């Protein structure tokens, strides 16, 4: 049976993943409408294939050619809904670029998402790993989303409880793995207040002499910090933090502090302690080091980079070597943040 003519074959993915790994998809579809998605998955051949749903490609490590169907979500659109007396409600289609969406909300006079400025990727990917930075997480502003369920062919509406958000985690990384997010809505308090809980951000705002910063000024400050510390994927391939910050028990943290008094740790509401993976990796001497074409970014040890022509396997080998060192020295297991394909 021939493939539907809207499909492309042997399609290069290098420019569709921020690590710039040069692999290809056996079949590729740019999903510009829900109808197109529905008709693709109604084709029995396509429905039976391994499937990769791709947004901005900023949280995955492609280790080889993809043997099935890549669904590149390119759904567009964003609007402000009527909201409630206390909250603005804003909505965007899954394929919108996250940062552009944040900037757009600020331009509409709707604050709230500014701490999440310049995070790579799309709106649809934001709930999957509950993106977070500078003292804010998606889940705090999340209202609901719609997702296409390929198993039933139905569109589901999911609220925050359905999504089971946790640190860099959600139901979409577990039982909800097959769901395809179509659009996401956020609730942002009309009574906006700057969130300066993250010390580095508060200091940077204070240094500019901004006693009462606007949401746009907070966004600009976050952008400046990120530009200083994180590589731009347009210049150097990377997927942001390569490891999650590990969470350990209070006891384990206390034992580590006896041996390593400068250990960076943050107490969590449940009494556990979150360690800084970047600090652990840095202390093991990995900052700026390379293995083949894969390297550790010199300004932030948590970020692995493609120094040019790296394969997914090279990045994986570097990650494994770092994990082994950190486990040996600190007895702490580092868990990768990107999904390995």
* Catalytic residue set: 168, 241, 337
Sheet holding 273-275, edge to edge: 247-248, 273-275, 265-267
Within 8 A by CB and 6+ apart from 229, the residues are 299, 300
Least distance between ligand EPU and beta carbon 120 (Å): 8
Which neighbouring-strand residues pair with 51? 69
- Nearer Cβ to ligand EPU (3/279): 279
The Cβ of residue 260 has, within 10 Å, a number of other Cβ atoms equal to: 14
Work out how close the CB of 282 gets to ligand EPU at its nearest, in angstroms, rounded to a whole number: 4
Q: Which is nearer to ligand EPU, 121 or 312 (CB)?
A: 121
**Integer Cα distance of 37 and 71 in angstroms:** 8
Binding track, positions 186-215, relative to ligand EPU; x by CB under 6 A: ------------x-x---------------
Per-residue three-class SS string for 154-200: EEEEEEHHHHCCECCECHHHCHHHHCEEEEEEEEEECCCCCCCCCHH
Closer of 78 and 287 to ligand EPU (Cβ): 287
Q: Which of 264, 293, 321, 339 binds ligand EPU (CB under 6 A)?
A: 264
The total of other beta-carbon atoms located within 10 Å of residue 279's CB is: 17
Instruction: Rule CB under 6 A: say whether 218 interacts with ligand EPU.
Output: no
Among the listed residues 322, 312, 252, 310, the one whose alpha carbon sits nearest the alpha carbon of residue 284: 322
Report if residue 325 touches ligand EPU, rule: CB under 6 A: no
- Given 56, 95, 150, 278, the residue binding ligand EPU (CB under 6 A): 278
Could you tell me if residue 308 is left (phi over 0), alpha (psi between -120 and 50 degrees) or otherwise beta? Answer: left
Interface with ligand EPU, residue 19, by CB under 6 A: no
Three-state SS at 264: coil
Nearest-approach distance from CB 291 to ligand EPU, in angstroms: 17
Under the binding rule (CB under 6 A), the answer on residue 302 touching ligand EPU is yes
Going by DSSP bridges, is the β-strand pair 247-248/237-241 parallel, antiparallel, or unpaired?
Answer: unpaired
When the beta carbons of 22 and 337 are compared against ligand EPU, the nearer one is 337
Binding ligand EPU by CB under 6 A: which of 81, 276, 317, 339? 276
Which residues share a beta bridge with 213?
Answer: none
Question: Among all residues, whose Cβ is closest to ligand EPU?
Answer: 240
Mark residues 100-139: x for contact with ligand EPU by CB under 6 A, - for none: ---------------------------------xx-----
| Three-class secondary structure of residue 327 per DSSP | helix
The residues that touch ligand EPU, with contacts defined as CB under 6 A, are 133-134, 198, 200, 230, 240-241, 244-245, 264, 276, 278-279, 282, 287, 300-302, 337
């Amino acid at each position: 049976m021939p493939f539907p003519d809207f499909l492309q074959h042997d399609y290069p993915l290098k420019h569709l993943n921020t690590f710039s790994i040069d692999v290809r998809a056996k079949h590729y579809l740019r999903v510009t409408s829900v109808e197109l998605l529905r008709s693709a998955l109604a084709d029995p051949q396509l429905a039976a294939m391994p499937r990769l749903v791709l947004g901005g490609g900023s949280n995955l490590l492609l280790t080889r050619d993809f043997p099935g169907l890549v669904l590149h979500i390119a759904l567009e659109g964003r609007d402000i809904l009527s909201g409630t007396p206390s909250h603005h409600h804003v909505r965007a289609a899954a394929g919108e670029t996250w940062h552009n969406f944040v900037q757009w909300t600020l331009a509409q006079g709707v604050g709230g998402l500014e701490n999440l400025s310049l995070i790579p990727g799309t709106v649809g990917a934001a709930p999957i790993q509950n993106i977070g930075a500078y003292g804010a997480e998606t889940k705090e502003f999340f209202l609901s989303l719609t997702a296409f369920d390929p198993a039933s062919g139905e569109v589901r509406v999911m609220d925050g409880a359905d999504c089971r958000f946790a640190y860099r985690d959600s139901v979409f990384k577990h039982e909800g793995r097959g769901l395809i997010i179509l659009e996401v809505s956020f609730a942002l308090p009309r009574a906006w207040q700057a969130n300066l809980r993250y010390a580095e951000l508060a200091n940077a705002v204070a240094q500019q002499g901004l006693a009462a910063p606007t949401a746009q000024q907070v966004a600009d400050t976050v952008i400046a910090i990120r530009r200083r510390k994180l590589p731009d994927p347009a210049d150097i391939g990377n997927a942001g933090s390569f490891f999650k910050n590990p969470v350990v028990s209070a006891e384990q943290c206390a034992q580590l502090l006896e041996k390593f008094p400068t250990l960076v740790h943050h107490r969590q509401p449940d009494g556990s302690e979150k360690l800084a993976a970047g600090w652990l990796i840095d202390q093991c001497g990995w900052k700026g080091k390379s293995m083949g074409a894969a390297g550790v970014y010199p300004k932030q040890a948590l970020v692995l980079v493609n120094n040019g022509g790296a394969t997914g396997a090279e990045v994986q080998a570097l990650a494994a070597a770092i994990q082994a060192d950190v486990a040996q020295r600190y007895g702490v297991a580092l868990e990768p943040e990107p999904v390995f394909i």
